[in-house]
Amino acid sequence: VREGHQVVCVDNLITGSRANLAALEGQADFQYVQHDVTQPFGPELDQPVDAVFHLASPASPVGYFRNPLATALVNSVGAHHALELARRRGAKFLLASTSEVYGDPLEHPQREEYWGNVNPVGIRSPYDEGKRFAEALTMIYVREYGVDARIVRIFNCYGPNSDPNDGRIVPNFITQALTGQPITVYGDGGQTRSLCYVSDLVDGLIRALCTPGTAGRVYNLGNPEEHTVLEFAQVIRRLANSTSEIVFHSCARQDDPQRRCPDITRARRELGWSPRVGLEEGLELTIAWMREKLGLGE
């Protein structure tokens, strides 16, 4: 919108918040349509479309554990509807996929060529397998219909406007640290993650869509700086000036990957992209936003 594009946002807000759109609603170049993308699009989208970003889906374990069928459908039927829209309008298409397609990986760091190690019937499968199906569907549309589509696999994005209760480690740990609750670590905290700040991710999405020659390509978008979950808990506690105790739950989450770190060689080479926001800088910005969101003073 800031760059002069007309943007139509289609969302049923199953895990989202209308408040996140407050700064955009009322602007002439922004339109919000409340709609479930698993249902056919209505007359609101009977207009020229240059690009389709399929970002719809619960993305946190809490979200897809509570809504397993909706998660599977938005990544299958919903992806089909979004791809059909792009095909009919001759629009570019970008699928927001996930590092979860790698499951509990046996290759580190994970390259785009790696096929993954996923439990197809586990508790995380509505999301993991849903995204894998959406990727397959996207490539069918590339090969069969010549749709100008690409796939990005997102690794652990975080930042302001996160839901404090969405269950992922950054909002979880920050909320617990700011409110004086014990910071909860599942397992021994030795499992690793790589956190990518939201502004870096958005830059990567736009580059993936707009860079020539990206049709039919798959890109990892994430920060290759790998840390343990325990290290994240300790850094967040320090940056939040918290006295919260770090507690360990011996029962690790089912199918929780032990290591997760992207190889972003392809994104660097083909998109000229790499993350710029450092871990502590991004966490400080997120903590400040969360503090205000929770109504807490300094």
* Per-residue pLDDT, 121: 95
pLDDT in tens, 260-285: 999 999 999 999 999 999 999 999 99
Report which listed range, 44-58, 116-130, 135-149, is most confident: 135-149
List of E strands, the chain: 7-11, 30-34, 51-54, 92-98, 149-154, 157-158, 183-186, 192-193, 196-197, 218-221, 227-228, 246-249
**Could you give all domains of the chain from N- to C-terminal order, each with its CATH number?**
7-293 (3.40.50.720)
In this predicted structure, the answer to whether residue 298 has a pLDDT above a threshold of 70 is no
In this predicted structure, the answer to whether residue 125 has a pLDDT above a threshold of 80 is yes
Confidence of residue 155 (pLDDT cuts 50, 70, 90): very high
Rounded distance, CA 231 to CA 223, Å?
16
Which structure tokens are listed for 75?
């990544």
* Per-residue pLDDT, 253: 66
Kindly state the percentage of the chain with pLDDT values over 70: 98
In this predicted structure, the answer to whether residue 1 has a pLDDT above a threshold of 80 is yes
CB-based contact 235:157 (threshold 8 Å) = no
Lowest-pLDDT range of 66-75, 76-85, 156-165: 156-165
Show which residues are catalytic. Answer: 127
In this predicted structure, the answer to whether residue 229 has a pLDDT above a threshold of 80 is yes
pLDDT in tens, 174-189: 999 999 999 999 888 9
Lowest-pLDDT range of 5-19, 90-104, 213-227: 5-19
